[in-house]
Amino acid sequence: MGEQQHVKFPQEVIDEYAALGVDLPALFSAGHLGTRMGVQIVEASAERVVGTMPVEGNTQPYGLLHGGASAVLAETLGSVGSMLHGGSSKIAVGVDLNCTHHRGARSGVVTGVATPVHRGRTTATYEIVITDENDKRVCTARLTCLLRDVRPGDEELVRSAS
């Protein structure tokens, strides 16, 4: 759990962030929380972000996937899309997340797919659909991120996150 896979990015995005000294696959590993939860980003662009997470280790006392775990996966995927939309001159900060839990999952891996609902200059909103291994919808989430300008000193924060 927490082992990092190679993340797929368009080459121009990799080059843009590399010029800032940022390793995108490391940055979008979902950080320490995502590592502990086994979140894997397997595809990423501003138009579509796909990630997976094991159910095992992320359950509530009844043995079902914890709703908070689904929220972590959703916010991670929507934030990646928002940051890629904003580009290297913006930082994406989540300001609203809502999740509707449709059914439980007891085992296997869930997959989340984030697609944009709105991509503006100052905010980005993504819908995230999380499904089980049988392609049954487990959760539908919506995340809105504020896209704020990078300020002096932010570059170091972004670099240290990776």
Catalytic residues: 75
Backbone angles phi, psi at 50, to 5 degrees: -125, 135
Q: DSSP string of 54-68?
A: ESTTSB-TTSSBPHH
Burial of 25 (0-12, 13-18, 19+ CB in 10 A): middle
Spell 44-79 as b/e; 16+ CB within 10 A means b. bebeebbbbbbbeebbeeeebbbeebbbbbbbbbbb
Q: Name which of 81, 90, 85 is nearest 150 in CA terms.
A: 90
> SS3 string of 65-91?
ECHHHHHHHHHHHHHHHHHHHHCCCEE
